[in-house]
């Protein structure tokens, strides 16, 4: 059930969820080898998941393992698109992988495909602008950002990208160099502690819309959906995962451990 509408989805067993979420934790920590192992276990339990192949492709692309790299990542994305040609996550992660390989034409093609499937997605729109800029098209990059900002609420990342596009050559503002990993980055946990699962879900979803890479908000959404016994919400949130820019806070990890134990039926430690 989502927004009052019931959707029939395929059954996904708890072991697949548990392995997937364990992969999320490893990926957030930059432990790409361990993340791939967990995602491959999730694939064994849920072989029809395009989302799992998107994550496998992402960690293969960014891993420093000899057998990994952009080529290995692209093979995984192809597997995912064979399962679900419309899944935007495979296009977005393949675009990010192409950008890492400095294959900007391919990055632009896949970023545009991701935007076509989810127009409001900020990372995909920012990637379109970066790919245009990298191909020597600064005017087109600025026009894209101006259009995106006029139709969708923008976060600090969009504002910074637009400022740089408007004033090329100006010194960029330095980003914070460190963040306390113990600090919560989602107000939804306070709602969860108070037993207000629906309020927690709404708050976490607002935070995810503002920053799709917020691992704390992503975990809080999963926990709230689980507490509400809303499997459609849980499945939709699983598919929204993007590689986090910061590892989950200690509070979020505590909730994730409890969620994994509840879904898998066994204690989990990491």
pLDDT in tens, 140-187: 999 999 998 888 776 788 888 989 999 887 655 544 433 444 456 788
CA distance 216 to 267: 21
* DSSP-assigned letters across all residues of 2-31: BTTB--------HHHHHHHHHHHHHHHTT-
Nearest 10 degrees: CA dihedral of 195, 197, 198, 201?
A: 140
Which residue, 256, 258, 261, 262, is CA-closest to 241? Answer: 256
Q: Who's near 61: CB < 8 A, 6+ residues apart?
A: 68, 69, 70, 72, 73, 74, 93, 96, 97, 100
- Tell me: the pLDDT tens digits for 37-77? 999 998 998 888 898 999 999 999 988 777 778 888 899 99
Question: Where does the pLDDT of residue 24 fall: very low under 50, low under 70, confident under 90, or very high at 90 and above?
Answer: confident
Q: Using CB atoms within 10 Å of the CB of residue 136, give its burial: 0 to 12 exposed, 13 to 18 middle, 19+ buried.
A: exposed
């Amino acid at each position: 059930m989502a927004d009052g509408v019931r959707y029939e989805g395929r059954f996904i067993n708890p072991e697949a969820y548990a392995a997937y979420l364990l992969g999320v934790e490893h990926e957030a920590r930059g432990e790409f080898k361990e993340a791939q192992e967990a995602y491959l276990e999730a694939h064994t339990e849920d072989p029809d998941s395009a989302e799992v192949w998107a994550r496998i492709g992402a960690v293969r692309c960014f891993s420093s393992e000899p057998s990994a790299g952009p080529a290995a990542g692209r093979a995984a994305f192809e597997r995912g698109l064979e399962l679900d040609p419309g899944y935007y996550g495979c296009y977005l992660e393949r675009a990010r992988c192409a950008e890492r390989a400095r294959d900007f034409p391919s990055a632009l093609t896949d970023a545009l495909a991701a935007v076509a499937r989810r127009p409001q997605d900020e990372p995909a729109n920012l990637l379109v602008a970066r790919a245009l800029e990298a191909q020597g098209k600064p005017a087109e990059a600025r026009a894209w950002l101006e259009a995106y900002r006029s139709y969708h609420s923008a976060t600090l990342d969009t504002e910074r990208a637009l400022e740089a596009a408007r004033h090329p050559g100006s010194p960029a503002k330095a980003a914070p160099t460190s963040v306390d990993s113990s600090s919560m980055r989602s107000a939804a946990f306070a709602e969860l502690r108070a037993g207000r699962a629906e309020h927690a879900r709404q708050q976490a979803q607002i935070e995810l819309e503002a920053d799709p890479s917020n691992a704390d908000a992503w975990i809080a959404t999963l926990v709230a959906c689980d507490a509400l016994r809303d499997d459609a919400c849980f499945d939709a949130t699983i598919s929204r995962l993007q590689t986090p820019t910061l590892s989950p806070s200690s509070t979020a990890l505590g909730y994730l451990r409890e969620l994994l134990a509840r879904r898998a039926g066994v204690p989990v430690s990491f």
